Structure 1
Amino acid sequence: MRFLVVGGSGLIGAHVVDVLRERGHEVTATARSARAGVDHVLELGSASVEELRPLLSGLDGVVYAARTDEQAPLRKPIHPVFRQDMVDPVVRLFAAARQENLSRGVIMGSYYTYFDRLHPQWRLPERHTYIRCRVEQAAEGRAAAGPQLPVAVIELPFVFGRAGDRLPNWAGPLDRWARSRSPLAMPAGGTAATTARSVAEVAADALEQASGADLPVADENLTWQDMIARIAGAVGRPRRVGRLPGGVVRAGMRAGGMMQALGRKESGINPSHFADLLLADLFIEAPTGRSLDPAIRETFGPAA
């Protein structure tokens, strides 16, 4: 089969391209800038449906693997900005895919939509613009695709690994912290985690099966303390990770939210409610059980 991977030079997209080609599929990769492995330079944020259709003509499926920075504070209101970055391009992409009669698609989403379904009482879309836009992205992308073009949404947790010089966007600060002489401490709670290779395999399976499912992905569920301890070991500075009291975490996050409000700014994940997420067990059942250690070493090893 023939596929287009939008964001094909990024951490996830590059692995999707590799896995699909290993399985014998023909793949075209697009990205915002020219680099090795990119077949077409595409600014999806400004591309119209009519501009996208030639790229999709004659293909079987399309993968949306572009990345969004949910933490950067922006001037209020940020919802229109996030929609322009996350939702509108996906709607146009899948509208074009429908018009070109593609038969399958994948959106790289977030595990926050999984927890929104699991715990609606957390009111995640109401509290966090990034999560609201992830929910809108999945719903509106599928609506644009129509029933004849099933679209799987892969709900990503923390993803370890590398693709050339591409690393997870959160890896840099944790790498510097783990290498420093500063004490390490994390709150209670934890997160599901996976690898870029595992995500790519799930994406390839979804495309081959023409799945339209929500697909949460996890290889292991880690406490925050365990995750930071394993990162410290990977950088060659193994040491004990202490426990941050929940009250300290909540006070720090509230202070961050107040500082943003005073500056008339917001971020996609609202600091005032972020402590609730940090202190929760953001675990996905059931994880595959594949060890994350090789991907953690790849992410935080000497070349990181």
Structure 2
Amino acid sequence: MKVLVVGASGLVGQHVVERLRERRHEVTAVARTARPGIDRTLDATAVSEADLAGLLAGHDGVVFAAGADDREIPRKPAYPVFHRGNVEPVVKLLGAARKAGATSTVVLGSYYTHFNREHPEWELEVVHPYIRSRVEQARAGREAAGPNLPVAVLELPFVFGRAGDRLPNWSGGLDKWVRSRSPLLAPPGGSAATTAASVAEAAVTALEERSDADIPVVDENLTWKDMISRIATAAGHARKVHDLPPAVVRGALSATGVLQSLTGKQSGLDPAKLGDLMVRELFVKVSPPRSIDHAISQTFPAR
């Protein structure tokens, strides 16, 4: 196959490109900024569908590995920012892929869409602008692709690993924390987790199989306490992780929401409701689980 990878300079994008080439596929690597290994620079939020159609000529597959991050805190209302970053580029890209005759596509999304589907009573897409954008990304992307172009949506949790100088975009503050003298605290609950290499494998397999499924990608389910402890150990600063009461988590996040409101900003994940989500076990069934210790060590190496 000849595959266009949008967001090829990111952590996961680099792993996807590498895995595709290992499987003898031809790759066109696309990113917003020029870097070694990038074949074409473009801003997926600004490029037209017509320009994308020209770029896609001769390609069999497409991987979208870009988008707006859930940590963004734009000015109110936040949803248009996430729609512009996550929905509009995918609609243009998959519409252009359909017209160019592509046969397989993959969109890297969020595991919050999995929980939105499994637990509609949580009203995640109603409460959180970022999650709404990911739900709409999958729906509108498939609509743009049409009935004959399969779209696999990979639903990603915390992704650990490294690609050159690229690390998970959430890891910087956590790295400083576990290496500091500050006490380590963790609420109840936890999260599914995976590695960039596992995501790349899932993406390439979905392309080759022309999958049209929603695919949660998970290697392990970790409590927050276990995750923080393993990160600190990998970084060479192993120590006890203390329990953080749920009420403290909810209260701190609610206060953050009030402060954002006073400054005219709005998170992609609403702090007023995020506390309820944080203390849940956001686990995804996996059998058998696969250890991610090697990827944790890559993300938080001992110094």
> Normalised by the shorter chain, which TM-score bucket?
over 0.9
More moved, 62-71 vs 195-204: 62-71
Contact kept in structure 2, 1:218 and 1:287, CA below 8 Å: no
1:271 aligns with 2:271: yes
In structure 2, list runs of 5 or more residues that go unmatched.
none
- Secondary structure of the corresponding residue to residue 30 of structure 2: strand
Find the aligned partners of 1:122 and 1:37 in 2 and give their Cα distance.
42
Q: Could you tell me the TM-score, scaled by structure 1's length?
A: 0.98
1:155 aligns with 2:155: yes
Contact kept in structure 2, 1:87 and 1:136, CA below 8 Å: yes
Deviation at 1:131, TM superposition (A): 0.1
Contact kept in structure 2, 1:127 and 1:273, CA below 8 Å: yes
The answer for the alignment partner of 1:239 in structure 2 is 239
The answer for the alignment partner of 1:185 in structure 2 is 185
- Secondary structure of the corresponding residue to residue 222 of structure 1: strand
Deviation at 1:77, TM superposition (A): 1.0
Q: How many residues align?
A: 303
Contact kept in structure 1, 2:67 and 2:85, CA below 8 Å: no
Matches within 5 A, 1:1-304: 1-302=1-302
Contact kept in structure 2, 1:152 and 1:212, CA below 8 Å: yes
Closer, same or farther: CA 121–225 of 1 in aligned 2, 3 Å: same
Contact kept in structure 2, 1:49 and 1:96, CA below 8 Å: yes
Deviation at 1:212, TM superposition (A): 0.5
- Secondary structure of the corresponding residue to residue 91 of structure 2: helix
Deviation at 1:287, TM superposition (A): 4.8
Find the aligned partners of 1:154 and 1:102 in 2 and give their Cα distance.
19
Deviation at 1:277, TM superposition (A): 1.1
Aligned sequence identity (%): 57
- Secondary structure of the corresponding residue to residue 17 of structure 2: helix
In structure 1, list runs of 5 or more residues that go unmatched.
none
The CA deviation string for residues 197-223 of structure 1, in whole angstroms up to 9 with x for no partner, is 000000010000000000001100000
Deviation at 1:192, TM superposition (A): 0.2
Deviation at 1:54, TM superposition (A): 1.5
Find the aligned partners of 1:289 and 1:55 in 2 and give their Cα distance.
39
Contact kept in structure 2, 1:220 and 1:289, CA below 8 Å: yes
- Secondary structure of the corresponding residue to residue 169 of structure 2: coil
- Secondary structure of the corresponding residue to residue 59 of structure 1: coil
Deviation at 1:72, TM superposition (A): 2.6
Deviation at 1:75, TM superposition (A): 1.1
More moved, 282-291 vs 123-132: 282-291
Deviation at 1:67, TM superposition (A): 3.7
Q: Which amino acid aligns with 2:209?
A: Q
The CA deviation string for residues 71-92 of structure 1, in whole angstroms up to 9 with x for no partner, is 2322111111211111111100
Q: Which amino acid aligns with 1:39?
A: D
Find the aligned partners of 1:110 and 1:73 in 2 and give their Cα distance.
18
Contact kept in structure 2, 1:186 and 1:244, CA below 8 Å: yes
